[in-house]
Amino acid sequence: MSEIQYFKDKNFTDVDWSEKVIENIKFEKCKFTGIDFSDSELLSVVFDKCVFISCKFSSTEFSKSAFLNCNFKLCTMFGSTFTNCKTTGSSFSEIDTSSVTINGGNWSYANLRYCDFSNQKLNDINFSGADLRNTNFSKCFIRGCNFFDCMLSNTNFKNRDIRDNRFNNFDISTINLVGAKVDLEFAIISVGMLGAIFE
């Protein structure tokens, strides 16, 4: 494996990094404006406390990479894929995620408000502590995901099979569960939150 490159407090503007293989780099407190990452592969790349403005991530493949406490503004991620990535503390609330593919990984404490994951397949993803308010999971396949301590107000699980996922604290009255399939553990938690006793 090649030596990791390190950049801190750098500004990158209007650079064409499309169709590149970018690997083993750490960017800390960097600002990216108008960068084109389209059709690129980012392998083991870490972005720590970085800001992305008007960047293109169309059909970009991220593998074993990390976005830690990053912010995205006016960026596009059409057809991008995240495989075993970590996005802890980053904000994706302004991103159109309807065509994003997520293969596992750690998305804990990420801001995913208003994101659209409908019609997607989500397996073994750690969403613990994430802000999922007004997030759409309708028509989505969800298995083995961790929703512990998530903010789930107005979250849409309509007509979804949400069995075999982990939930704990949530307000049952604010989640759209119409037609949803739930397992016994979820049902017990829900009954308890309504003040009833399960026997």
Question: Among residues 74, 81, 111, which one has the least CA distance to residue 96?
Answer: 74
In this predicted structure, the answer to whether residue 29 has a pLDDT above a threshold of 70 is yes
101 to each of 4, 62, 84, 117, how far by Cα in Å?
27, 10, 11, 9
Confidence at residue 189, expressed as pLDDT on a 0 to 100 scale:
72
Instruction: Give tens-digit pLDDT for 59-113.
Output: 999 999 999 999 999 999 999 999 999 999 999 999 999 999 999 999 999 999 9
Instruction: Give tens-digit pLDDT for 70-82.
Output: 999 999 999 999 9
Q: Is residue 168 very low, low, confident or very high in pLDDT (cuts 50, 70, 90)?
A: confident
In this predicted structure, the answer to whether residue 128 has a pLDDT above a threshold of 80 is yes
What one-character-per-residue DSSP string does 140-170 give?
-EEES-B-TT-B-TT-B-TT-B-TT-B--S-
State the DSSP H helix or E strand holding residue 53, giving kind and residue range, or none if neither.
strand 51-53
- What whole-number distance in Å separates Cα of residue 148 and Cα of residue 199? 24
Kindly report the CA angle at 124 between 119 and 130, in degrees rounded to 5? 80
Q: Is residue 199 very low, low, confident or very high in pLDDT (cuts 50, 70, 90)?
A: low
User: Helix, strand, or coil here: 87?
Assistant: coil
Amino acid sitting at position 58: S
Amino acid sitting at position 188: I
Pick the more confident residue, 25 or 119.
25
Q: Is residue 193 very low, low, confident or very high in pLDDT (cuts 50, 70, 90)?
A: low
Model pTM? 0.88
Q: Is residue 172 very low, low, confident or very high in pLDDT (cuts 50, 70, 90)?
A: confident
- What whole-number distance in Å separates Cα of residue 47 and Cα of residue 29? 8
Radius of gyration (Cα) for the chain, nearest Å? 18
